[in-house]
Structure 1
Amino acid sequence: MRTPFRSRRTVLTGGAAALVLTLAITPTATADTSRPSRQGGSLVLVGGGLKDDNAQVYGEIIERAGGARARIGVITASSVPASQDPYADDPDKCSNSACNGAYYSEVFERHGAADAQWIPVDLDHIANADSEAVVRQVNSMSGFFFGGGDQSRYLTTLLNGAAHRDSKVLAAIRAKLAAGAVVSGSSAGAQITAGAHMVTGGESYEGLRDGSSPGYFEDATRLGYEPEGGFGFLRSGLIDTHTGAYGREGRVMRLAVDTGHDRVYALEENTALLVEHPGGPRERVRVLGPRGVAVFDLRRARVHEGPKTAGRGVDGKRATWSLSGVRYDYLTDGDRYDPRLRLTLPAYGKRPLAPRSTTPVPANTDVFHSAANPAGAPYSFLTTARALAATAAQRTAEATSYEDGPRFTVTFAKSPGFTAWSGDGATPQTLTGLSIHVTDR
């Protein structure tokens, strides 16, 4: 099976204040009113690494597109075009937009779609984004899937680049979503559905240390974002993907703080965030798949920044930075979330877990699964959170970044109202109301 391209990570940077500050995080005021955000359809957003045998996620997309009558339009413009793929003529090795489009089309049909077609828009066919023939093809579809790769290529091909204006094809997809269609995507295909401040790259440690900056950067560790965002289909929170697999919890908290967002949806691999009626008062969220989705709530978060001193920031200086009061919920298969009430509703059959273990939480010296640590383990942040939930011996646990200079310490705390939920009565699966503090030491 061909695995569509995905990059290891992405990052950006930003300056820090010259004075010691204590800031309340408030909802972002950056709203794009040029396009309607209230939709009648649904989104199925996968955190990357979507396996071709994930019948649950593919089946959900197909069912929402009409079941046995589903017609899926596959958009893979985030992949390199055939002209840039040295293996374009080899069906076993190719990884360009056309062959990835054929791959996903075959997978959707294998899972029961009546038809699945590649929408021929990519860097080799930018003009097709305004082709009336391609618009007619889009209008004949009942659902859409955006593949992974580099979301900047979606901006170039479907949003007219710096103009950030809908092409005719994107306008047609937007209208289909508003009329009730399903729009899905994986990795970059999920990221591009974001509104303002779509993440473009970066690592957690460098992001926490240096802050974020607008743009795309060759330095893969630098935390970056697109100020105007992507398609703006989902605006109730920032979106990140491959979260636990690449240890991106730190970068999304820092980006949310820097850009004034008070909520993050952090998606795990091979698992989907189902969003019904995105942008409207009835917006609801459900998780599908074998892993989970973290929701970071920063409404009551406080940032503490100190004066800049000599260090390793972008300008050769860095400021001390810490964050407190972040609420962390981790949702697993079947769990629901109400964005308006900010309420997690565990799936039927899950019950509150009363921890009986007295085993201490294991030490964790690489909470963000650093790419610099050859012995690092994915899902490290979640592992500590669940270990704390499982023990009666501790109310708090600390974990640290692999890097020092500074070393960041993450404190997990069972705040009042914290609950772990389990389907088997022994294993913490869903977590609600865990408190997160990040300290620069």
Structure 2
Amino acid sequence: MRKRSFNWFSFLTILLAALAHLPAAAQEPDTLKPPPEATAPEKPLPVAKGSLVIIGGGLRGDNADVWSKIVSLAGGRGARIAVFPSASGTPEKAAEIIIGYLKKYGADAFAVPVAIRLAGSDYRKAAEDAALAEKIRRSGGVYFAGGDQSRITKALVREDGTRTAALEAVWDLYRRGGVVAGTSAGAAIMSSTMFHNPRAILPMLRSGITDGQEVAPGLGFIGDDVFVDQHLLVRGRFARMIPAMLTKNYKLGLGIDEDSAFVINAQREVEVIGYSGGLLIDTSQAVWDKTKPDFNVSNVRISYLDRGDRFNIITHSFTPAPDKAGGRIEPGREALRGPVYSNDILGNYAVVQLMERLIDSDQEEAIGVASGNPRSTTPEVGFEFRFTKTPESVGYISGIAEAYSVLNIRLDVRPIDIPRPLYKYR
């Protein structure tokens, strides 16, 4: 029987024809500029097989997406989860509530009695208890409650900066493949630098950020190359993330909103789940003039990642939620017309609403203003936030709801003089 010869020309012809007809979803995803090499970390990243669930605070008990994800990543129904109420002013009550919700979604949760506000307990001794550390280590996950993040680091980090036995057990769990979850203060500790005792946003913009005062060391589960903040959209905290990132030389920041979470796996893939989404802030191409008394910056890149969206920290690739897969906003669509602006860019969801209107409008830029008390009797320094479309700016809109994802908007911030009083009664 004669052997059939392989026709390479026919094979290549068929292959090229097949590739040409692949659906759009199978093509290369959008990439958030700049390329990955521009944001490579200066320090080695932790080697961990586990996942992070970074919650922006205000997590409701009926948010099944987030609670179920934590339980699933910890091992599923019956998974042991150690609850750290360390940040809370009332740790007994906080632990009781959180354990109740985790049990409702199938976990076998227990309280870790390491909290400086825990009555009748020596938190330093508890943090070094070998039996308690082993119990944590053998769990499938941990959950850090909200409150004051400085209480977490005080309870779990020794005065010389080394890890207590309890914290080392958390790291062992994380390296092995367990999940580390945290809400509000429990989210702030995820990066190597966290807000510590911050002032209001405008005073920080006017006089700067002091290391050791507004910011202090966190626990660093996400690595040394990403800054984390929480309660982001409801409180306009994107504006404080930028000066903090520049001060501490972070190129990438993730800010998550309330009742929502970033889920980050061992491959550093980010998935947004929960009620809304969060902001991705890129300062790798930013220009900051430190010689000026008030904060100023140009060429920050800001993106809004909505629930269901995915982003890879290493490759900077973005994949929209399934309901947005065919909803890329093409140039010339211009659904909205007229100026895009906000008189209070630090207001509740104001930054996202402005970005959504800009990406789907005929305008190339939008302006947001931040200022203080309009009834003040003396002039004050305010700030102009200028958002500009670039050739890399991309938007997606859901096919089933008025929901957007917005990528690569340029942001410039500069101080402006605000006359006072802003108005007079007639």
TM class by shorter chain equals 0.7 to 0.9
2:278 corresponds to which of 276, 286, 293: 293
**Number of matched pairs:** 364
Q: Structure 1 residues 40, 229: closer, same or farther in 2, change over 3 A?
A: same
Q: Structure 1 residues 361, 384: closer, same or farther in 2, change over 3 A?
A: farther
1:273 matched to 2:251? The reply is no
1:243 matched to 2:238? The reply is no
Contact 1:194 1:238 in 2 (8 A): yes
* Alignment correspondent of 2:163: 166
Query: 1:197 deviation in Å?
Result: 5.2
Contact 2:344 2:368 in 1 (8 A): yes
1:359 matched to 2:344? The reply is no
The 5-angstrom pairing of residues 37-436 of structure 1 reads 37-80=46-89, 96-113=90-107, 115-123=108-116, 124-126=121-123, 127-160=125-158, 162-196=159-193, 198-216=195-213, 224-226=214-216, 228-277=217-266, 282-307=267-292, 319-350=293-324, 351-354=327-330, 355-369=333-347, 378-392=348-362, 394-403=363-372, 405-424=380-399, 427-436=402-411
- Name structure 1 gaps, 5 residues minimum: 1-25, 81-95, 217-223, 308-318, 370-377
- Name structure 2 gaps, 5 residues minimum: 1-37, 373-378, 417-426
- Aligned equivalents of 2:309, 2:241: Cα separation in 1: 22
Q: Deviation per CA, 1:245-276, whole angstroms, max 9, x where unpaired?
A: 11111110011111111111011111101111
CA RMSD of aligned residues (A): 2.1
Paired residue type of 1:164? G
Q: Secondary structure of the equivalent of 1:213?
A: coil
- Aligned equivalents of 1:109, 1:204: Cα separation in 2: 38
Query: 1:199 deviation in Å?
Result: 5.0
Q: Deviation per CA, 1:344-367, whole angstroms, max 9, x where unpaired?
A: 221223121244434324541211
Query: 1:198 deviation in Å?
Result: 4.8
Contact 2:205 2:294 in 1 (8 A): no
Q: Secondary structure of the equivalent of 2:86?
A: coil
Contact 2:280 2:302 in 1 (8 A): yes
Query: 1:134 deviation in Å?
Result: 1.0
Contact 1:353 1:428 in 2 (8 A): no
- Aligned equivalents of 2:183, 2:400: Cα separation in 1: 32
TM-score (norm 2): 0.81
- Aligned equivalents of 1:320, 1:290: Cα separation in 2: 35
Contact 2:234 2:258 in 1 (8 A): yes
Question: How many percent identity over aligned positions?
Answer: 24
User: Which protein has greater RCO, CA pairs closer than 8 Å, 6+ apart?
Assistant: 1
Larger Cα-atom Rg: 2
Q: Secondary structure of the equivalent of 1:294?
A: strand
Paired residue type of 1:237? V
Paired residue type of 1:247? G
